[in-house]
Amino acid sequence: MGDLTILYYTSNKEDPRFEKRIQEKLLENCGGLPIVSVSHKPISLGKNICVGDVGVSGFNMFRQVQIALKDAKTKFVLSAEADCLYSPDYFTFVPERDDICYRNSNLYVMGDHRDYWYYKKEGATHAQIIGREFYLKTLDKLFEGAPMWSPEEKNFPKERHHKVDIFDKIEYYRTENPVFQIKTHRSMRYFTHSDRIPVYDLPYWGNGKEIRDFYLKGVKEKYER
């Protein structure tokens, strides 16, 4: 899909070695799509916009997305986060409409202290594709009268916070291969909703122990409880 930009946003709180491996897999699988990255520290990924150490919150995450949306020029944008791994087919889905949030339902999550996945039944902001202008208008409206940055969710106007989805309508699609998140104890929120049935192997990705050992190699001891 040519009319698509990847939005990569990070607070740079993960171990740099871990995040570098995430970025390398993103570049390997994204098919050369343009990337706009918005970070708290300078990074070398696509076109980078560094906003400084503004604090970690859902509020600031959406501000970073808003900044990326203003810089991107394509009709659609695709989310990518600093603790998520995306299979090649994640980058090929073509939406029917540009005024709906489309979320991938083939999601899994792996905690840093275990070597298997749980299936995540609900969609997430880290695996979605949206019309750029629609997303930007939604965020512009959300942030009306709000400060530029806030380390607290309560500064969302109209009493909206990170538990309230900003989209009124969401459609779900399913990639052939999964997207998954590695939850470390450095992430903004360690706990997430998922089932509790261990999955030890995933299509395309392979064995959970091998995945965990590779991506947390050299840093995993910092994450273990």
- Encoded tokens for 161: 């916070």
CB atoms within 10 A of CB 163: 7
Buried b / exposed e over 129-155, threshold 16 CB at 10 Å, is bbbbebbbebbeebbeeeeeebeeeee
Categorise residue 98: left if φ over 0, alpha if ψ from -120 to 50, beta otherwise.
Answer: alpha
Provide the pLDDT for residue 191. Answer: 47
Alpha carbon distance 173, 55 (integer Å): 33
How much is the pLDDT for 156? 66
Question: pLDDT value at position 184?
Answer: 86
pTM: 0.90
For position 161, what pLDDT does the model report? 46
DSSP bridge partners of 91: none
So what's the pLDDT on residue 154?
63
Distance CA 160, CA 88 (A): 34
Question: Which pLDDT score, from 0 to 100, does residue 49 have?
Answer: 98
Q: How much is the pLDDT for 162?
A: 47
The pLDDT > 70 percentage for the chain reads: 86
83, 184 contact by CB (below 8 A): yes
Query: Which secondary-structure segment (H or E) carries 37?
Result: strand 35-39
Per-residue pLDDT reduced to its tens digit, 76-99? 999 999 999 999 999 999 999 999
Q: What is the pLDDT along the chain (225 residues), one digit of tens a residue?
A: 579 999 999 999 999 999 999 999 999 999 999 999 999 999 999 999 999 999 998 899 999 999 999 999 999 999 999 999 999 999 999 999 999 999 999 999 998 888 999 998 888 999 999 999 999 999 999 898 889 999 877 666 554 444 457 888 899 999 999 999 998 865 555 445 445 699 999 999 999 999 999 999 887 555 443
